[in-house]
């Protein structure tokens, strides 16, 4: 796998992000709820709205980009409040099976703690998505026992305490 870079979502990511979503739509729909046609029809407005949410500090959106500028994943922290956020992610079909999701979720946990001051991350996945369950478990998330519905599909909740992720510096 070539070198990959986790970047905070920017306006200039829009064309590559649109291509990523289109190219992987059927792959994603097999394991997560489909975004629907409206998402693609109004992509530019949606992208602008995401950037506005990020600028307001409500969410932190990231893309995983290769050296050619191709987006191979999305890793988002949404509904940021009271030191907590919800993690969501998608990885391109061609990048699966290489540990990309696990490594990037771990990196995002570090960013969440060190850069954004978060103490807890929540996540959820459908019961029929063992790959995502594995990623979350390998990245230190534990099942909460909470049953959730994701796009009408049964799922389960996960949580990750970030207190052990924080750096300990000379003042700590």
Q: What domains can be seen in the chain, in order of their start residue? A: 4-161 (3.40.630.30)
Q: Which of 36-40, 55-59, 112-116 has the lowest mean pLDDT?
A: 36-40
pLDDT at 172: 33
Distance (Å, rounded) from C-alpha 95 to C-alpha 11? 24
Residues 63-95: tens digit of each pLDDT: 999 999 999 999 999 999 999 999 999 999 999
DSSP string, 1-47: ---EEEEE--GGGHHHHHHHHHHHHHHHHTTS----HHHHHTHHHHH
pLDDT for residue 79: 95
pTM of the model: 0.89
Say yes or no to pLDDT of 60 above 50.
yes
Strand ranges inside 9-166, DSSP E: 60-66, 71-81, 84-91, 120-126, 142-150, 153-161
> Taking all residues of the chain, what is their mean pLDDT, rounded to a whole number?
91
What's the mean pLDDT in 153-157?
A: 91
Burial (Cβ within 10 Å: 0-12, 13-18, ≥19) of residue 23: middle
- In this predicted structure, what is the pLDDT of residue 1? 54
pLDDT band at 35 (very low <50, low <70, confident <90, very high): confident
The torsion angles phi and psi of 14, rounded to 5 degrees, stand at: -50, -50
Mean pLDDT of 54-62: 95
Compute the distance between CA of residue 81 and CA of residue 60 in angstroms, rounded to an integer: 12
Write down the pLDDT at residue 30: 80
Cβ–Cβ under 8 Å, residues 85 and 77: yes
Per-residue confidence band for 2, with pLDDT thresholds at 50, 70 and 90:
low
Residue 152 has pLDDT above 50, yes or no: yes
């Amino acid at each position: 796998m070539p070198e990959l870079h986790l970047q905070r979502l920017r306006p200039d990511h829009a064309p590559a992000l649109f291509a990523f979503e289109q190219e992987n739509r059927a792959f994603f729909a097999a394991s997560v709820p489909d975004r629907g046609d409206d998402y693609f029809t109004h992509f530019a407005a949606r992208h602008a709205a995401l950037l506005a949410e990020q600028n307001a500090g409500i969410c932190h959106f990231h893309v995983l980009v290769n050296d050619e500028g191709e987006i191979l994943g999305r890793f988002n922290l949404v509904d940021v409040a009271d030191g907590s956020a919800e993690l969501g992610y998608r990885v391109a079909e061609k990048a699966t099976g290489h540990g990309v999701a696990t490594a990037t979720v771990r990196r995002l946990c570090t960013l969440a703690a060190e850069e954004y001051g978060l103490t807890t991350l929540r996540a959820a996945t459908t019961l029929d998505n063992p790959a995502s369950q594995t990623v979350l478990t390998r990245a230190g998330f534990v099942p909460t026992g909470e049953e959730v519905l994701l796009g009408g599909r049964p799922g389960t909740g996960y949580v990750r305490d970030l207190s052990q992720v924080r750096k300990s510096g000379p003042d700590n």
